[in-house]
Structure 1
């Protein structure tokens, strides 16, 4: 399998995290995974994202959160290139599982 492109992983990851934050259990699952891989504060950031989205700020909030996550994930992969492939894999897995659960 080819090496995932970090910018693609950052965008796909950002959209997947925002989508996961719509559901409490998915948000907790993703927060636990990213916290275990990248360490604090990433898990807390997922839960804060969920809180803002649940507060009901609509599409604009989701777009803003996705943009912030794209930057966070991009920075994370630059600092920790060893996380590119695991992140790409978990994003694919989560997106597939959420799609099949819908």
Structure 2
């Protein structure tokens, strides 16, 4: 029987990029609802905070927007790695949320 190896840093990186991208885009509402149901209110709140920081940065100018995006991806990567270490049972939820965003047509 073959075992699947989950590379947690890769799952965290992919999730971080997808979540930050969605936080600043039209997928936000869908992701927020799914995140609330699968990961809980703390994660829902963190996504809302990320969205607000991205929106604030977009009003301040392009340089700020790119810097804030990079910082948000780094924050989410660390959060997700920590979550998966503490709660390995949620790895599939993170992967499902990330894959769900990849399946969403860009608008």
Shared fold per TM-score greater than 0.5: yes
RMSD over aligned Cα atoms: 1.7
Asked which structure has the greater CA Rg, the reply is: 2
CA distance in 2, matches of 1:37, 1:3: 22
Partner of 2:43: 42
- How far the C-alpha of 1:90 sits from its partner, in A, is 2.0
Structure 2 spans left out of the alignment, 5+ residues: 59-63
- How far the C-alpha of 1:87 sits from its partner, in A, is 1.3
- How far the C-alpha of 1:3 sits from its partner, in A, is 4.1
Structure 1 residues 14 and 60, CA, compared in 2 at 3 Å: closer, same or farther? same
- How far the C-alpha of 1:20 sits from its partner, in A, is 0.1
Q: How does 1:62-101 map to 2 (within 5 A)?
A: 62-97=69-104, 100-101=105-106
Which consecutive aligned stretches of 4+ in structure 1 deviate over 6 angstroms post-superposition? none
TM-score normalised by the chain length of structure 1: 0.85
Partner of 1:22: 24
Q: How many residues matched?
A: 99
TM-score normalised by the chain length of structure 2: 0.81
SS at match of 1:101: coil
SS at match of 2:41: coil
* Aligned residues of 1:4 and 1:88 also touching (Cα < 8 A): no
CA distance in 1, matches of 2:23, 2:75: 14
